[in-house]
Structure 1
Amino acid sequence: MAERHPALIEQVREAFPYGPPQHRALDSLRQEIAHGVVEPLAPGSPDRELWLARGREHFGRSWFDAPFLWSESYFYRRLLGAVGYFDEGPWQGVDPFAPFKRAELRGGTVEEELRALDDLADVPAADRATALLQASLWGNRADLGFRGPAGESGPGEAAPGEAAPGLVADDSAMLWSLLPAGSGATVAVVADNTGRELIPDLVLVDHLLRHGHADRVVLHVKPGPYYVSDAMTADVVDCLRRMREAPGEAGSIGGRVWDAMGTGRLDVRTHAFFCAPFPYERMPDDLRAELGAATLTILKGDLNYRRLVGDRRWPATTSFAGCTAYFPGAVAALRTLKSDVVVGLDERTLEGLERSGRAWRTSGTHALIQVRPRTGADR
Structure 2
Amino acid sequence: MSDAPVIRGTDPHSFPHSVLAERHPALIRKVQGAFPYGPEQRRALEELLKSAVDGVVEPPDDDEWWDTWDVRRYAGRSWFDLPFLAAESCFYRRLLHAVGYFRPGPWQGVDPFRPFKLAELDTPEAAAELTALDALAEQPPREQLRALLHGSLWGNRADLGFRIQSAEETETASQLVADDTEQLTSLLLGADVLCLVADNAGRELIPDLLLIDHLLAHGLIDRAVLHLKPYPYFVSDATTADTLDAVRHLVAAEAAAGHRLWSALSDGRLALRAHPFSCAPLPYADMPDDLREEFASADLTVLKGDLNYRRLVGDRLRPPTTPFASTTAYFPGPVAALRTLKSDVIVGLAEKTEDALVKAEGRRWRTSGTHALIQVRP
Q: TM-score of the superposition, structure 2-length normalised? A: 0.89
Q: Kindly indicate whether residue 204 of structure 2 is the aligned counterpart of residue 197 of structure 1.
A: yes
- RMSD of the alignment, in Å? 1.4
Q: Could you say which residue in structure 2 is the equivalent of 1:372? A: 377
Partners of 2:261 and 2:115 in 1: CA distance: 25
- 1:157-306 residue pairs with structure 2 within 5 A? 166-180=175-189, 183=190, 185-247=192-254, 251-306=255-310
- 1:316 equivalenced with 2:320 (yes/no): yes
Give the stretch that moved more between structures: 57-66 or 88-97: 57-66
Report the alpha carbon displacement of residue 320 of structure 1 after superposing the two structures with TM.
Answer: 0.3
Q: Is the 8 A contact 1:320 1:372 kept in 2?
A: yes
Match of 1:23 in 2: 42
- In the alignment, structure 1 residue 100 sits paired with structure 2 residue 116: yes
Q: Secondary structure of 2:322's match?
A: coil
Query: Contact 1:140–1:336 at 8 Å: present in 2 too?
Result: no
C-alpha separation in 1, matches of 2:188 and 2:87: 37
Asked whether 1:7 is paired with 2:26, we answer yes
Q: How does 1:120-139 map to 2 (within 5 A)?
A: 120-139=136-155
Indicate if the aligned counterparts of 1:141 and 1:364 stay in contact, CA closer than 8 A. Answer: no
Deviations 1:281-305 (A, max 9, x none): 0000000000011000000000000
Distance 2:220 2:283 in 1: 29
Contact 2:146 2:185 in 1 (8 A): no
Kept in 2: contact 1:186–1:295 (CA 8 A): yes
Judge conservation of contact 1:220–1:268 (CA < 8 Å) in 2: yes
With over 3 angstroms needed to count, the CA separation of the structure-2 counterparts of 1:48 and 1:71, relative to structure 1, is closer
Q: Which residue identity lines up with residue 87 of structure 1 in the other structure?
A: R
CA contact (8 A) 1:141 1:336 kept: no
**How far, CA to CA, are the matches of 2:226 and 2:139 in structure 1?**
26
SS state at 1:352 partner: helix
Structure 1 residue 360, shift from structure 2 partner: 1.1
Corresponding position: 1:334 with 2:338? yes
CA separation in 2, counterparts of 1:30 and 1:234?
28
Shift of 1:55: 2.0
User: Which whole-Å CA distance do the structure 1 matches of 2:134 and 2:290 have between them?
Assistant: 41
Contact 1:140 1:335 in 2 (8 A): no
Q: Which residue pairs with 2:11 in the alignment?
A: none
Q: Which runs of 5+ in 1 are unaligned?
A: 143-162, 374-379
Q: CA deviation at 1:277?
A: 0.1
Higher alpha-carbon deviation: 7-16 or 170-179 = 170-179
Please say if residues 184 and 212 of structure 1, whose CA atoms lie closer than 8 Å, have aligned partners that are also in contact. no
Task: Report the CA distance between 1:184 and its aligned residue.
Answer: 5.8
- What is the CA-CA distance between 1:49 and the residue it aligns to? 3.0
Structure 1 length as normaliser, TM-score? 0.88
CA distance in 1, matches of 2:64, 2:358: 47
- Overall identity of the aligned pairs, in %: 61
User: Matches of 2:327 and 2:44 in 1, distance apart?
Assistant: 40
1:357 CA displacement:
2.2
Report the count of equivalent residues. Answer: 345
Preserved CA contact (<8 Å) 2:284 2:311: yes
| Shift in Å, 1:46 | 4.3
Kindly provide the CA deviation profile for residues 197-230 of structure 1, in whole angstroms up to 9, marking residues without a partner as x: 1100000001111222210000000000011110
Matching residue's letter, 2:321: T
Task: Write the distance in 2 (CA, Å) between the matches of 1:58 and 1:299.
Answer: 28
Q: Give the AA of the match of 2:377.
A: R
Question: Within the alignment, does 1:33 sit opposite 2:52 as a pair?
Answer: yes
- In the TM superposition, what is the alpha-carbon distance from 1:123 to its structure 2 partner? 1.0
Following superposition, the deviation at residue 57 of structure 1 comes to 3.3
* Farther-moved stretch of structure 1 (280-289 vs 342-351): 342-351
Partner of 2:357: 353
Gaps of 5+ in 2: 1-19, 159-170
How far off is 1:50 after superposition? 2.2
Residue equivalent to 2:162? none
